[in-house]
Amino acid sequence: MAQDSARTKTLAQGKLPRLVTPLPGPNAKRVIEGDRQRLSPSYTRNYPLVAKRGFGAVVEDVDGNTFLDFTAGIAVVATGHCHPEVVAAVQRQAAELIHMSCTDFYSEGMVELAEKLESISPGSEPKRVYFGNSGTEAIEAAIKLARYHTGREKIIAFYGAFHGRTMGSLSLTASKAVQRTGFGTLLSGVFHAPYANPYCCPYGHAPCECCTDCAKFIERELFRTIVDPQEVAAIVVEPIQGEGGYLPRPPEFLRDLQRICRENGILLIADEVQSGMGRTGKWWAGDHAGIEPDILCVAKGIASGLPLSATIARSSVMNWGPGAHASTFGANPVAVAAALVTIRLLRDQYMENARRVGEYIFARLSPWRERFRTVGDVRGKGLMIGIEIVADQKTKEPAPGLRDAIENLAFSKGLLVLGAGANTIRLAPPLVIDEEQADFAIGVLEACIREAETLV
């Protein structure tokens, strides 16, 4: 125990990677072999990292190698790994009450957290909050609530979207075929529309025309030929598409969707599971467009790594009765304690840091389209940045193999990044990073891209 505490203290003092064994090391190899024998083969593992401890933006593996984490556990540890104030709140709450099920009993922390979430949610109308444990649960609750409130069945989502892997949310997901293959008939009444991607418009148009055409597709095609708008309960949208490739939706596209919803009595559901909680420099990615969704889905960064999600809706919308929906573990007291500290830390320090350091990184990366023949696009907001890797800048042909090579080369140099979409590198570090760590990550990625380009 004392040795572990000393290692954590040492880790807290370091900001950059230090590799002491070949990767993977002997202990990592042992764990990976056990994983292969005993765990579900459905998990995707991009490279052989076996994490043991973390602090801030640094992760240590089971062999003592340390890495700079630009994944944040897939955009989860917003306040960094094991933030001391989050850890203290978790320890205090765990010593007091771990579980009592807020489905059947009241909780002071649950009410306090709902008040905090209401205060940072867009729109002036009072809000109500349903708590679950994960992003997919937040989406499932939103689907059920939209159908319950409107008395309508149909849902519209977008190509490239990722909303989760349980059956309802999976029906909205249209990111990778493998995620839907083999599971039979999904939720009926779900329709998909093209996603407004200014870099690679599905219609081949200029950015401004692309936004208009993708929004108009719903009115001109779906509503005219496939589904009556009076049967549509909700349109579900990620203000920044996450697994689809870190694609920010243009503000005018989001505002068009809000207009379509308001004109037809349709609920606008914003999936902010990956883009919310200050990651873009504002509480919500939709805030950059000024939209006010009827239902807001939140998870990942809400509790600095503890399992918690929230489905936040206008009070007039969340009108279902007792027993309509619930979760045994939703708003677990320990996760709630972590979330209350997380919100304070984001408000007081890290949301502004995400904006500032994000702008710094983006300024460093923007010239890469001219410097590297395989970089097709650099895009994002705050510390949610995507680098699209292509085989040819003119044709914009995706280069997924090259992207994967860059990702693995980065790991070999002590930098953790992940892919998004077919061929994009996602940068989603903890919101605590500073410019020194940003410079290191940029330098590593530059070296990796140069090395990967020699392979093609």
Taking only the tens place, the pLDDT of each residue in 433-448 is: 999 999 999 999 999 9
Sign of CA dihedral 156, 127, 253, 195: negative
65, 416 contact by CB (below 8 A)? no
Q: What pLDDT is attached to residue 213? A: 77
pLDDT of residue 249: 83
Average pLDDT, the chain: 95
Is omega for the bond preceding 24 within 30 degrees of 0, making it cis? yes
153 confidence band (pLDDT: 50, 70, 90): very high
The stretch 255-281 carries a mean pLDDT of 97
**CA dist 150 → 155, 191, 233, 439 (Å):** 11, 17, 6, 50
**d(Cα 456, Cα 447) in Å, to the nearest integer?**
15
* 41-92 tens-digit pLDDT: 999 999 999 999 999 999 999 999 999 999 999 999 999 999 999 999 999 9
pLDDT of 10 higher than 90: no
Which three-class secondary structure state does DSSP give residue 67?
Answer: strand
Residues 280-303: tens digit of each pLDDT: 999 999 999 999 999 999 999 999
Note the helical H segments in 78-193. 84-96, 108-120, 135-150, 167-172
Domains of the chain: 87-346 (3.40.640.10)
